[in-house]
Amino acid sequence: MTSTPKIWHATVLTLFPEMFPGPLGVSLAGKALASGLWALEARDIRDSATDRHRSVDDTPAGGGPGMVLRADVLAAAIDAADSAPERQKDRPKDRPRLLMSPRGRPLTQSRVAELAAGPGPMIVCGRFEGIDQRAIEARGLEEVSVGDYVLSGGEVAAMALIDACVRLLPGVMGKVASGADESFSHGLLEYPQYTRPQEFEGRPIPEILLSGDHARVAAWRQAEAEALTKARRPDLWAARQAQTRPAQTRPVQTRPGQKRPKNTTEG
């Protein structure tokens, strides 16, 4: 008997569940969501508040501006999401628990691929000045950043992360190769793209792309991708160079008075 494959399931904990699916409900992600290729659940953190005002925040310990999301409320929201009966079988408890945070590790295409290959994450969207550190530690939240800037909350960042993952799920993109030549897939930015008309405002399509010589086209695209990466993202270029640099051969050690082997060369 063949078991039904489990679909990728994203759970978002937020103070504004009405923001979802938002952009995730249209285009590729939206079509895939409607087709059942993935699932989205937006849960209101306020549902775990214990007072009649549904309070979720309080003033920072030690003083300072703004408010902080309480550890007890957020932890209860996380626990409730893990123990909810609906679709329980489709939500493994060992799934990644992410917190969208500007102090987190930068989100990379390789991390996106890892998340897309898993069961789907639980994503916490912060607000205010931040969330109580004890909730991060007690519930094992992995802090993730989508850039060196600050948003009003984690919802937009969560949408970006989910969209990046969903487009890699089987059956979402039209061609499997569509994701293979994109920026960051091989540590490089993507090469320039062109289409009709053949000439636009005096700018023609590079002749090599119209040559029909697939080998030359591939070489041109590789060279363009390398040049763009080197110029615009020297950090990526340096990392790629470090990965592709051949390991140096250590010189053969000899004792005093011992001759080196004739065919030995130093790296």
Residue 267, pLDDT score: 38
Q: Given a cut of 80, is residue 108 above it in pLDDT?
A: yes
Question: What residues contact residue 57 under an 8 Å CB cut-off, 6+ apart?
Answer: 67, 68, 69, 70, 127, 128
Residue 175, pLDDT score: 64
pTM of structure: 0.85
Q: How far apart are CA 197 and CA 133, in angstroms?
A: 55
What percent of the chain has pLDDT above 70? 84
Q: Which comes out higher in pLDDT, residue 69 or 128? A: 69
Q: What are the distances in angstroms from CA 247 to CA 32, 236, 243, 264?
A: 44, 20, 10, 16
DSSP state of 131: B
**Per-position b or e across 156-188, b if 16+ CB within 10 A of its CB:** bbbbbbbebbbbbbeebeeeeeeeeeebbeebb
Q: How far apart are CA 8 and CA 179, in angstroms?
A: 18
What percent of the chain has pLDDT above 90? 78
Q: Given a cut of 70, is residue 30 above it in pLDDT?
A: yes
207 by Cβ neighbours in 10 Å (0-12 / 13-18 / 19+) ranks as exposed
Q: How far apart are CA 12 and CA 119, in angstroms?
A: 14
Tokens of 261: 């082997």
**φ, ψ of residue 56 in degrees (nearest 5):** -125, -5
18 by Cβ neighbours in 10 Å (0-12 / 13-18 / 19+) ranks as exposed
The domain spans of the chain are 8-166, 199-243
H/E run at residue 132: none
245 falls in which pLDDT band (50, 70, 90)? confident
Average of per-residue pLDDT values in the chain: 89
Q: Given a cut of 50, is residue 264 above it in pLDDT?
A: no
Residue 244, pLDDT score: 78
For residue 68, give the nearest of 150, 17, 134 by alpha carbon: 134
130 by Cβ neighbours in 10 Å (0-12 / 13-18 / 19+) ranks as middle
253 falls in which pLDDT band (50, 70, 90)? low
Q: Which amino acid is at 123?
A: I
Mean pLDDT of the 123-145 span: 96
Residue 93, pLDDT score: 62
Mean pLDDT of the 13-35 span: 98
Q: How far apart are CA 101 and CA 150, in angstroms?
A: 8
Q: Given a cut of 70, is residue 118 above it in pLDDT?
A: yes
- Which fold does the domain 8-166 belong to in CATH? Alpha/beta knot (3.40.1280)
Strands 68-69 and 122-125: unpaired
Residue 185, pLDDT score: 73
CB atoms within 10 A of CB 7: 15
Tokens of 75: 């932890």
Mean pLDDT of the 76-99 span: 81
**Per-position b or e across 48-78, b if 16+ CB within 10 A of its CB:** bbeeeeeebbeeeeeeeeebbbbbebbbbbb
